[in-house]
Chain A
Amino acid sequence: AQSVTQLDSQVPVFEEAPVELRCNYSSSVSVYLFWYVQYPNQGLQLLLKYLSGSTLVKGINGFEAEFNKSQTSFHLRKPSVHISDTAEYFCAVFSQGGSEKLVFGKGTKLTVNP
């Protein structure tokens, strides 16, 4: 069975600083990986996803993530954050073999301070 570990529950940073949100996964089959963002009182919005091909994936709002098969990681990065990036970020793995469900990590709360 697939699982996802988000190593940091909270990440505080200053505006315009770089940020990395860490995600590790476990899976015995090939994986499809996702990062979603959740703003307060809103649903989840897709930031980016990795299905195959280039291991560096670019998403919306200046975010990118790198798939590392040997490290079983899919860390999310942004070179310079804004106040508006304050939100909860969820890493997810697509569960193959059966239903098309996503298995989510517990989330990382990113707080960008002025």
Chain B
Amino acid sequence: GAGVSQSPRYKVAKRGQDVALRCDPISGHVSLFWYQQALGQGPEFLTYFQNEAQLDKSGLPSDRFFAERPEGSVSTLKIQRTQQEDSAVYLCASSPAGTAGETQYFGPGTRLLVL
């Protein structure tokens, strides 16, 4: 019973570089979430998928952020032209059916540092 996995665990990027962060949810989980956690803060919602459909992207901070889940399993969060303010931990979570109040299972996160 593998949990949610994320790769890479750490990423250092130069300002202006593009990065891609990967999330492997728990097998069979319908819902997938991305959160951004700045230093000393709680996680903040970025976007939500149900299967391959992106149902909510209201938390994406700019059009430099793009997420996809083309086959309804693995998801990739892409950040174009990274800025220093993008430095944060990016958390992925999945849940079985996407119903109200369902537990979300979190991965270990990808720590992104933009220099």
Measuring CB to CB, which residues of chain A are less than 8 angstroms from any residue of chain B? 4, 6, 32, 34, 36, 41-46, 49, 51, 90, 92, 94-96, 98-107
Contacts and interface: CB of A to CB of B under 8 A. Distances in A.
Interface of B: 3-4, 31, 33, 35, 40-45, 48, 55-56, 58-59, 91, 93, 95, 98-109
Contacts of B95: 100
Contacts of B106: 36, 43-45
Contacts of A44: 43, 91, 93, 106
Nearest to A105: B42
A100 B41 contact: no
Nearest to A101: B45
Given A43-B108, A43-B109, A106-B41, A98 B100 contact: no
14 contacts: A43-B91, A44-B43, A44-B91, A44-B106, A45-B106, A46-B105, A92-B42, A99-B55, A99-B58, A100-B100, A101-B33, A102-B35, A102-B43, A107-B40
A92 B102 CA distance: 13
B98 A100 contact: yes
B101 A104 contact: no
Contact of A49 (B40, B41, B99, B101): B101
Contacts of B48: 99-101
Nearest to A36: B106
A45 B42 CA distance: 14
B44 A104 contact: yes
Contacts of B59: 101
A104 B31 CA distance: 18
A96 B45 contact: no
B43 A104 contact: yes
Contacts of A42: 108
A107 B42 contact: yes
A44 to B, nearest CB: 4
